[in-house]
Homo-oligomer: A and B are copies of this chain.
Amino acid sequence: MLPFSRVTVIGLGLIGSSIARAVRQHMPTVRLTLHDADPAVRERVRDLDLGDDVPDTAGASVIDADLVMLCVPVGAMGAVAAAIADDLPADAIVSDVGSAKTAVLAALREALPNATVIPGHPVAGTENSGPDAGFASLFTGRFCILTPPDGAPEAAVVRLRAFWEAFGSQVEIMDAKHHDLVLAVTSHVPHLIAYTIVGTASDLEEVTQSEVIKYSAGGFRDFTRIAASDPTMWRDVFLNNREAVLEILQRLTEDLTMLQRAIRWGDGDALFNLFTRTRAVRRSIVEQGQDDPAPDFGRQH
């Protein structure tokens, strides 16, 4: 049995358009309504035939939905929720895919005080953006975290879990605050660091941009891939998960200072011990199917 029969996706970027494609593939009988604030994106979504209907307003897109999935940048969640408030059916479940859950939950509850809100976060993505970048298998084998607030109806959580599991995701339930700390470590701070290092490299006087690009295969290019992600999405993540990001950043800075000191004083053992330890973490990630064992530095897939 399908967990939902009339699904609305608002925001047709990488994640929203991947959800639309995955619904089409795994739940072909679901009536799928799509909306994006950008008329050019709506036009493209119609051309790509990603859904049954692409209304011009957010309100019109939710009129008969039983699941509304908000796939807009974290900072836009509140405004989108307000825009659908008048048209949202009383029994619809509202969820989202944002990477910061405490702030999103607060924004959605404020705009939709009487709705059933179950925030979610599929931990999956690529460095590309827009409706053309999505694909149906993006969530297969990846984790999706749901952060139901206290008092959320259990039946709603069960249905949302079934929705994600139909895409091949593994669903985990977590407190919103804990989610935000975990993701600060596994996603937000890594992105911030990647953005920083690419910025630093572009600003050097003694090393030209052309040199940075030419010799990027030594490690740098991997950071540029991460630092090519959508700027609006990431600005909003940092502004909306400030506390956890600053906490992890502080820890990172301490550890970096320790290594800086080890380099300055020639403490090879401290370096070697860390570099050995980090190798084991990599091994676990590959063993648990969260990355490909193929040596990707050589690329040539």
Interface of A toward B, CB cutoff 8 Å = 75, 99, 123-128, 133, 135, 137-138, 142-143, 145, 172, 178, 181-183, 185-204, 206-207, 209, 211-229, 231-232, 234-236, 238-239, 242, 245-246, 248-249, 251-253, 255-256, 259-260, 263-264, 266, 268, 271-272, 274-279, 281-285, 288, 290-292, 294-301
Q: List 24 A-B contacts (CB under 8 A).
A: A99-B218, A126-B298, A127-B296, A128-B295, A135-B298, A172-B214, A181-B206, A185-B201, A185-B204, A189-B197, A190-B218, A190-B222, A192-B256, A193-B197, A195-B275, A196-B252, A198-B278, A200-B251, A200-B255, A225-B291, A228-B278, A236-B268, A246-B260, A291-B299
**CB neighbours of A181 from chain B (8 A):** 206-207
A301 to B126, CA, bound (A): 13
Expressed in whole angstroms, the minimum distance between the Cβ of A295 and any Cβ of chain B is 3
> Given that A196-B252, A245-B263 are known contacts, is A221 also in contact with B290, CB under 8 Å in the complex?
yes
Contact in complex: A143, B217 (CB < 8 Å): yes
A238 to B75, CA, bound (A): 41
Contact in complex: B272, A235 (CB < 8 Å): yes
Contact in complex: A215, B195 (CB < 8 Å): no
> Given that A185-B207, A200-B252, A221-B291 are known contacts, is A213 also in contact with B245, CB under 8 Å in the complex?
no
Contact in complex: B266, A231 (CB < 8 Å): no
Secondary structure dominating the interface of A: helix
**CB neighbours of A253 from chain B (8 A):** 253, 256
Residue in B124, B220, B292 whose beta carbon sits within 8 Å of that of A186 in the complex: B220
A80 to B65, CA, bound (A): 72
Residue in B185, B224, B274 whose beta carbon sits within 8 Å of that of A278 in the complex: B224
Contact in complex: B187, A219 (CB < 8 Å): yes
**CB neighbours of A195 from chain B (8 A):** 259, 274-275, 278
Q: Nearest chain-B residue to A299 (Cβ)?
A: B292
A204 to B203, CA, bound (A): 33
Expressed in whole angstroms, the minimum distance between the Cβ of A103 and any Cβ of chain B is 12
Contact in complex: B187, A125 (CB < 8 Å): no
A275 to B203, CA, bound (A): 14
Most interface-central of A124, A246, A271 (chain B CB within 10 A): A271
Given A182-B207, A231-B272, A231-B279, 16 other A-B contacts at CB below 8 A? A123-B218, A124-B298, A182-B211, A182-B215, A185-B220, A187-B219, A187-B220, A195-B259, A199-B255, A200-B251, A216-B290, A225-B296, A228-B278, A235-B275, A242-B263, A292-B299
